[in-house]
Amino acid sequence: MSILVNKQSKILVQGFTGTEGTFHATQMIEYGTNVVGGVTPNKGGTQHLNRPVFNTVEEAVKATGANVSIIFVPPAFAADAIMEAAEAGVELVVCITEGIPVQDMVKAKLFLQGTKTRLIGPNCPGVITADECKVGIMPGFVFKKGKIGIVSKSGTLTYEASDQVAKAGLGVSTAVGIGGDPIIGTTTREALELFMNDPETEAVVMIGEIGGGMEAEAARWYKDNAKKPVVGFIAGQTAPPGRRMGHAGAIIGGAEDTAEAKMRIMEECGIHVVKSPADIGATMAKVLKK
C-alpha cells in the first residue's frame, strides 16, 4: 500500500525533451516508473525515450490516460504548466521547478481550488513509493520498501531520513517532499493525514524547518487525530531571527516560526521530537517496539 503514487500510476513528464526532463525521466523509467509520455510544445508527434511526445497535456491525457504529471519547465512557465495539467484533469501534479515567482503561485493555487488536482511542490524532490514508483529527482536506491511514511520540507533530509530508517532495519512506504517555498500545494498536515489513513503505513517521520506555521498546524491536527506514532525533526535550530535559511519559506517571522517553538509544540502534541537527524532511525525503532 502507499499514498499518492504506485505501480499503476501513469506518469506524464511536462518539459519532457529538455535537459532536466530527459535526465530525470530516464532515471524514473529505470526505477520502474510507468512513464507513459511527455509534453513539449511544437514537438508533438515525435518520440523521446521511446515514449510519445505531445503538444499539450490535454492531448497527452486523452491518448495515454495519464493521471500523474511531473513538471520540469522553467520558472516563468511553471505555474501555467501546473494549471494546464489541472485543466486536463490530472489528479496529481508534482512540480520540481524552483524559483517560480510568488505571484504566479498565488494564481496557480487559486486555480487549483476549483479542480480535483492535488499539487506537490513546487521546489521539491517529488514523491516516491519504494520499489514501485518514483515521481521526482530523489536517488531511488536510498529508499528501501517498508511501512514508514516520510513527509519533509527538505529534499536532502528526506534522503537522510530514509537512510536512517533503513539502518534501523525498517523501510519506507511512501516519501513525500512537499517543498520549501512560501506557497506550496500539499501541506505537512495534509500529507500526515494521508499517511494516518493508509493501512500499510505504521508510523511517520515528519521533517520541518524554521519559518511558517505548517508544522504547528500538523502537530495540533495530530493531537486530535493520532492513530500512529510520529517522529519529528526541525531543521534550522541555530538560525537567527529574520535570516532565511535555504528555502524561500524558511524565514522566522513570528513567535511560532522558530525551531524551538515548533519542537515544543510538536512534543506537546505527542510527537517524538529528535534534535538531530542522526537520531531519526533509532528513535523510530524504539517507538515501534513500545
pLDDT digits (tens, 9 = 90+) for 252-289: 455 567 889 999 999 999 999 999 999 999 999 999 99
Q: Which of 90, 82, 258, 56 is nearest to 184 (CA)?
A: 82
Q: In what order do the strands lie in the sheet with 118-120?
A: 47-48, 51-54, 35-39, 11-14, 68-71, 92-95, 118-120
- In which residue are the cell numbers 528526506 written? 158
Percentage of the chain exceeding pLDDT 90:
86
- Model pLDDT, residue 211: 84
- Model pLDDT, residue 240: 64
**Dihedral through CA 133, CA 138, CA 142, CA 145, nearest 10?**
-20
pLDDT digits (tens, 9 = 90+) for 134-186: 999 999 999 999 999 999 998 899 999 999 999 999 999 999 999 989 899 99
- Model pLDDT, residue 254: 56
The radius of gyration of the chain from alpha carbons, rounded to an integer in Å, stands at 18
- Model pLDDT, residue 290: 73
Would you place residue 212 in the very low, low, confident or very high pLDDT band (cuts 50, 70, 90)? confident
Would the pLDDT of 251 be above 60? Answer: no
Cα(180)–Cα(114) distance, integer angstroms: 24
- Model pLDDT, residue 114: 86
Mean pLDDT of 66-92: 98
Q: Which of 24, 48, 247, 272 is catalytic?
A: 247
Would the pLDDT of 250 be above 60? Answer: no
- Model pLDDT, residue 38: 98
Would the pLDDT of 237 be above 90? Answer: no
Cα(260)–Cα(81) distance, integer angstroms: 38
Mean pLDDT of 111-119: 96
Residue 247 is a catalytic residue: yes
Strand locations in 2-90 (E): 11-14, 35-39, 47-48, 51-54, 68-71
Would the pLDDT of 247 be above 80? Answer: no
Please say whether the beta carbons of 272 and 159 come within 8 A.
Answer: no
Q: Which of 265, 260, 252, 230 is nearest to 152 (CA)?
A: 230
Mean pLDDT of 97-111: 97
Q: DSSP letters of 144-202?
A: -EEEEEEEES-HHHHHHHHHHHHHTT--EEEEEE---SSS-SS-HHHHHHHHHT-TT--
How is residue 215 written as a grid cell?
508544522
